[in-house]
Structure 1
Amino acid sequence: MASSALVPSPPPSPTYRVVKWAFVTPLFRLFLRGRCRGMELVPLSGPLVVVANHGSHLDPPLLGHALPRPVSFMAKAELFKIPVIGPLIRAMGAYPVSRGASDREAIRTALRRLEEGWATGVFLDGTRKASGRVEAPQLGAALLSARSGAPLLPVALVNTHRAFGPKQRWPRPVAVEIRVGQPIAPPASRSRADLDATTAQCQQAINALLEHPASPL
């Protein structure tokens, strides 16, 4: 479905706006003392595959909150069963994908939303990592990019794994930062070699963003 046409990004729904400003914004700005860097690098129109590291249950709503356009993102199906978190991420545009299986419906949903001009988010590892880094990236984001012609946007979620990591029962007020890197061109083809190369480029870009010094308060 590769196309160079820049389809306007759909406007956020009323539910999206309410959840963002009533719940996610106070969580990010006040409880987590959140900061953003590189938002000027986000393309504001056309399909976009947002790729990020994943260290926390907080990542989906924070990723949707940070960018200056709505993000429809994949999240593992188990998250939708968690009280509060499940309804929150669904309202922020998430849709479930089954971990460990080829979820063709989720891929079709992602491609359809890219055709509609959405930014679609993918956590590169597919599951949370205690280190907060990208360690074992999967090829799904590169494949979506290759099939849709959408560029990839690397985003680093800094310290979310410390705020509410895999072994924590409750979030902690740890300062977090969301950093955006330069967009990455789609793979040259759908060959395994090209998908591997683009995936490695995304991994390197995100981990490099994680290593940048924190913004001054």
Structure 2
Amino acid sequence: MENETTPTTTKDNEKAQGGNHLLYMMFKWLVVRPLLYLFYQERIYGTENVPLTGNLIVVSNHASDFDPLIVGSCMARPVAFMAKEELFEIPVLKQAITAFGAYPVKRGAGDRAAIRSAIESINKGWATGIFLEGTRTLDGKITNPKLGAAMIASKTNAPFLPVCVWGTETILPKGAKFPKLFQPVTVRIGELIPAPESGDRATLEAYTQKCADAINALHALGR
């Protein structure tokens, strides 16, 4: 399948989603990975399933605000996630999350700009992370998957890498002001699911459900 996006020039790319791979990897290995290992006894399975090159969409369940850091840090390559557009209005934080490849998305609305940003992210060499349900769930299971990730996959010929985070819902429960420490966290990385063969709605729905089933199956394995 040919890439359906319009080619961008170098100048266009400089104005598009940013990101710094070196800074990303330094933050991952010097800060995120040690903290997760020390305070959350993190277990990771399936790292051999992560392709190091080529277009890629990392698709995960979502139960905590910490999930982007946790999922991204388990990959052997940088992963850019969508972030609430409100975060891009905060000085310093905006520059920080932009450096790590994040791009804004509007909550509660279909945001074509976010989809375009995700496609640009993939075209610039980032693996792009998307939460299949679009929002957090109380138990980490996927019950209402959205079609946006499959649409992006069909336009970029990017395969899905299903990922399950288990136990993250206990890190920062509703109403808590500070994250809880020493909560066991497990990440399971599944096998690649090739990009959908077409972009019609029926195909995208079946593809999305296949991915949701794969993630829920990983979740059922527990710790």
Give the equivalent residue in structure 1 for 2:110: 102
Instruction: Provide the secondary structure at the position in 1 that maps to 2:38.
Output: helix
Counterpart CA distance in 2 for 1:60 and 1:79 is: 14
Secondary structure class of the residue paired with 1:136? coil
Q: Aligned Cα RMSD in Å?
A: 2.4
Structure with bigger gyration radius:
2
Q: Is the 8 A contact 1:64 1:92 kept in 2?
A: no
Corresponding residue of 1:190: 199
Q: Map 1:1-217 onto structure 2 (within 5 A).
A: 2=2, 13-78=21-86, 89-172=97-180, 173-214=182-223
Quick one: structure 1 residues 37 and 204, their matched pair in 2 at CA, closer, same or farther if it must change by over 3 Å? same
For residue 74 of structure 1, give the secondary structure of its aligned residue in structure 2.
strand
- The DSSP-based 3-state class of the residue aligned with 1:2 is coil
Identical-residue share of aligned pairs (%): 45
Contact 2:56-2:128 at 8 Å conserved across structures: yes
Asked whether the equivalents of residues 20 and 101 of structure 2 are also in contact (C-alpha less than 8 Å), the reply is: no
Q: 2-side partners of 1:129 and 1:213: how far apart?
A: 16
Letter aligned with residue 15 of structure 1:
L
Q: Distance in 2 between matches of 1:83 and 1:35?
A: 34
Q: Deviations over 1:50-78 (max 9, x none)?
A: 10001001011111111011001112334
Looking at structure 1, the residues matched to 96 and 36 of structure 2 have their Cα atoms a distance apart, in angstroms, of 14
TM-fit CA distance, 1:164: 2.1
Q: Which runs of 4+ in 1 moved over 6 A?
A: 81-88
Q: CA 1:58–1:89 in structure 2 vs 1: closer, same or farther (change >3 Å)?
A: farther
What's the CA shift string for 1:102-149, capped at 9, x where partnerless?
322221111112122321000011111111111211101100001111
Under a length normalisation based on structure 1, what TM-score does the superposition of the two structures give?
0.86
Q: What CA deviation, in whole Å up to 9, does each residue of 1:23-61 have, x standing for no partner?
A: 211221111111110000111110101100010010111
The answer as to whether partners of 2:147 and 2:204 remain within 8 angstroms in 1 is yes
Name structure 2 gaps, 5 residues minimum: 4-18
Equivalent residue pairs, number: 207
Alignment-mate amino acid for residue 121 of structure 2:
R
Separation in structure 2 between the aligned mates of residue 75 and residue 144 of structure 1, nearest angstrom: 17
